[in-house]
Copies of this chain bind each other. A is one copy, B any other.
Amino acid sequence: MWVHLQREIENLKKDLLALGAIVEENVQKAVKSFEERDSDLASSIIDSDYEVDQREVEIEEECLKILALYQPVAKDMRFIVSILKINNDLERIGDLAVNIAERAVFLTIRPAADIHLDFRTMAKETIDMVKKSLDSFVNMDPGLAKEVCEADDVIDAKKIKIRTMVEEAIKKEPVRTEDFLQYMSVARNLERIADHATNIAEDVIYMVKGNIVRHRMG
């Protein structure tokens, strides 16, 4: 039984990483569609979100099946419960990618605005956090998890900087308030994605060290 359980857990890890890869790609493409005013790309992300939802449901069912069938204890049980939580975080990251894609669709029918923000770098750093948080989980690496928590401050600072730039743009050209607010929305969605990665990383540190580092930002 123990060997079977370990095999099931390995499969779950793979499924979780596969879902992670999809949502990471969706975030990247959503930001690309926004920056390049590509409504086809944006629509394709909105349309493909059902796959993320479907996979989330499947992973949850799989976790419940394994809990029922193998009744794992201690470390294994906690690991599976963590997968349930991370699964949820990934699905919500998928939703946030959709939010960004919706902003892209909104802007493509509007004339280009005179504002230049480097979303691509912010997106890259955010996606890196998601990747690293998942790696820290499957390898139970608290050092890597700590890097994710630290990177969160960088993303927060970038969001604040973008907010200031958007506010300045609005003051200069208030007639385009609705358009400029879409830019702020993209930054905010990226920040929320980074928060989910941080949740995952904090859970890893908690699992490894047995301390409550979750909510340390409180």
Tally chain A residues at the interface, Cβ within 8 Å.
30
A43 to chain B: which residues have CB within 8 Å? none
Q: Which of B78, B170, B214, B215 contacts A177 (CB 8 A)?
A: B170
Extra pairs beyond A53-B218, A84-B85 (19, CB < 8 Å) = A50-B218, A56-B215, A57-B214, A57-B215, A63-B81, A64-B78, A64-B81, A67-B81, A68-B77, A71-B71, A81-B84, A84-B84, A85-B88, A88-B88, A167-B177, A167-B178, A167-B181, A170-B177, A171-B175
Copies of this chain assembled into the complex? 2
Q: How far is the CB of A42 from chain B (nearest CB, A)?
A: 15
A71 to chain B: which residues have CB within 8 Å? 71
A73 in the interface, Cβ–Cβ < 8 Å?
yes
**Contact in complex: A68, B64 (CB < 8 Å):** no
Residues in A lying within 8 Å of B, measured CB to CB: 49-50, 53, 56-57, 63-64, 67-68, 71, 73-74, 77-78, 81, 84-85, 88, 167, 170-171, 174-175, 177-178, 181, 212, 214-215, 218
**Contact in complex: A215, B50 (CB < 8 Å):** yes
Question: Could you list some 17 contacts between A and B, CB below 8 A?
Answer: A50-B215, A53-B215, A53-B218, A56-B215, A57-B212, A57-B215, A63-B81, A64-B78, A81-B81, A84-B85, A85-B85, A85-B88, A88-B88, A167-B181, A170-B177, A171-B175, A174-B174
Q: How far is the CB of A35 from chain B (nearest CB, A)?
A: 23
The CA-CA distance from A175 to B172 in the complex, in Å, is: 9
A170 to chain B: which residues have CB within 8 Å? 170, 174, 177
Q: Which 10 A-B pairs have the closest CB atoms?
A: A53-B215, A174-B174, A71-B71, A171-B174, A170-B177, A167-B177, A50-B218, A68-B73, A167-B178, A57-B212
The CA-CA distance from A167 to B179 in the complex, in Å, is: 10
A64 to chain B: which residues have CB within 8 Å? 77-78, 81
A49 to chain B: which residues have CB within 8 Å? 218
Give A49's nearest chain B residue, CB to CB.
B218
Q: How far is the CB of A75 from chain B (nearest CB, A)?
A: 11
